[in-house]
Structure 1
Amino acid sequence: MEWNMWVMVVSALATSLGAIPVLFIRGISHRRMDSILAYTAGIMVAASTYGLIPASLKLTNLYVLCFGVLIGALLLNLLEYIIPHIDFDHQRSDVVLPQQSLMLIAAMTLHNIPEGLSVGASLVSEVENLGIVVALSMGLQNVPEGFLVALFLVNQDVHKLFAIMMAVFTGLIEYFASLVGFYLVQVSLFLVPYGLAFAAGAMLFIVYKELIPETHGHGYERLATFSFLLGLLSMIGVVEWFR
């Protein structure tokens, strides 16, 4: 139990690690931004298709998998209608800061809730090494995510330390979601394959709807493509290492 709690903490608060470099960076080019986003997308695709989906199929059947994946994608689609979308690279500088900051945190919550649920659910599952693999995959993609959150706030003239605090806050959201997933699945173990499929669907929705389009609008499509492949192979390497 104690080990699982520490795994959830480290995975969620990896967002904080990614935010720290903002203290030393004045700005970032589209080239680097696209590369980071594409690498993150590769990690998330590998985590979904090479980790979560096969694990869900081992525990259940194709019908449950399809149901969970579609529900995960549909829920994020619904939440995106409810909460205004944030585009990191196309913000007006004259918008009132507090409103923008709250919208950003709300948008990141859409990412962190299913991620946290997947970590908590996988740690309770009986699939060998699944929990640590999922936690590592979430932690790896949380690093660039935390960087992007802090960078956006700094570009909106927020103090750097406050921007890092907000990145930490988004990580805490994921940690609490992990606790929910952990204790919910512990009570009803039959929900594990649904939770894994749900997380896979949510992550694939984010990749196709948000990350990939964002990396193909500034003329660095080839770099983004290879960054995506590097992220994909990195995550596959992590999965194979712990098998």
Structure 2
Amino acid sequence: MNEMMWGGLLSAASTGAGAVPVLLFRRLSHRLMDILLALTAGIMVAASVYGLMPYALKLSNLFVLCAGVLLGALTLSVLEGVLPHADVRFLEGAGGLDPKSLLLIAAMSLHNLPEGLSIGIGYASRIDDLGNVVALSIGLQNAPEGLLIALFLANQGVRPGIAIAVSLTTGAIEWLATLLGYRLTSSIESVLPYGLAFAAGAMLFIVYKELIPETHGHGHERAATFSFIVGLLIMVSLLVWFG
């Protein structure tokens, strides 16, 4: 329980940690952002394919795995349909901090909900260090997300300290979702394999729908591709070492 609380908390707090560079600069080159996003994409793919999915299959069967993965992807797809989306291009071209901008920040907070559930499910499985692996992979993805939020706010005239605080706040819902995912899965153990597969599907959706397209629109596709491969190898190595 304590390990889950700290793992979820650190993963959520990485949103605020990722925003700290806003104290030093207001803009980030497309090349560096593409490399960072591709690195986290590789990490999340490895965590899903080599961590979550094999354990879901081991605890159940192919039908449960497929159903859970599709449900996770469908859930994220529905969220994408009903919530506004913020990317690098929008953040650079935004005007004032109007209600639409506030809605976008709220939307990014809500996008952390399935991520938090994934962390909680990972810890509830009590399988080796699966919870730590999921928390690490999502935490690494949260850092550039927090930086985007902070850069957006700073460019609207918000003081850097407040921008960092807002970024940290958007990650708070992830920690609450971690607690919820842990409680629900621990109470209903039959849900565990579905939960693991759901987490994998949600993470794969984020990678393919959000991260990879964002890294291939600024002319740095080759650097992003190698960064993706490095990220994947890093997470596979961690999975082998934690074994």
User: CA-atom RMSD, angstroms?
Assistant: 1.6
**Closer, same or farther: CA 150–96 of 1 in aligned 2, 3 Å:** closer
Q: Helix, strand or coil for the counterpart of 2:126?
A: coil
Q: CA deviation at 1:66?
A: 0.6
TM (norm. structure 1) is: 0.93
What residue is the counterpart of 1:169 in the other structure?
Answer: 169
Provide, for residues 119-169 of structure 1, a one-character-per-residue CA deviation record: whole Å limited to 9, x for no partner: 111111132221222222222222222222222222333221121112111
Would you say 1:73 and 2:73 are equivalent positions?
Answer: yes
What residue is the counterpart of 2:100 in the other structure?
Answer: 99
What residue is the counterpart of 2:190 in the other structure?
Answer: 190
Q: CA deviation at 1:98?
A: 4.0
Q: How far apart in 1 are the matches of 2:152 and 2:23?
A: 13
Provide, for residues 155-197 of structure 1, a one-character-per-residue CA deviation record: whole Å limited to 9, x for no partner: 3332211211121112111000000001111110111111111
Structure 1 stretches of 4+ moved >6 Å: none
Q: CA deviation at 1:57?
A: 1.0
Provide, for residues 12-68 of structure 1, a one-character-per-residue CA deviation record: whole Å limited to 9, x for no partner: 212221111221123111111111111111111111111111111111111011111
- Unpaired runs of 5+ residues, structure 1, are none
Q: CA deviation at 1:2?
A: 2.4
Point out the more displaced range, 136-145 or 227-236.
136-145
What residue is the counterpart of 2:34 in the other structure?
Answer: 34
Which aligned pairs between 1:1-243 and structure 2 lie closer than 5 A? 1-91=1-91, 92-110=93-111, 112-243=112-243
Point out the more displaced range, 134-143 or 28-37.
134-143
**Closer, same or farther: CA 239–149 of 1 in aligned 2, 3 Å:** farther
Q: How far apart in 1 are the matches of 2:201 and 2:20?
A: 30
Whether the 8 Å CA contact 1:121–1:181 is kept in 2: the answer is: yes
- Unpaired runs of 5+ residues, structure 2, are none
**Closer, same or farther: CA 58–233 of 1 in aligned 2, 3 Å:** same
Whether the 8 Å CA contact 1:101–1:153 is kept in 2: the answer is: no
Q: How far apart in 2 are the matches of 1:124 and 1:7?
A: 12
Whether the 8 Å CA contact 2:69–2:201 is kept in 1: the answer is: yes
Q: How far apart in 2 are the matches of 1:147 and 1:213?
A: 18
Q: Helix, strand or coil for the counterpart of 1:114?
A: helix
**Closer, same or farther: CA 96–128 of 1 in aligned 2, 3 Å:** closer
Whether the 8 Å CA contact 2:95–2:156 is kept in 1: the answer is: no
> Match for 1:178: what amino acid?
T
> Match for 1:46: what amino acid?
A
Whether the 8 Å CA contact 1:150–1:163 is kept in 2: the answer is: yes
Q: Helix, strand or coil for the counterpart of 2:240?
A: helix
| Paired residues, number | 242
TM (norm. structure 2) is: 0.93
Q: How far apart in 2 are the matches of 1:105 and 1:238?
A: 33
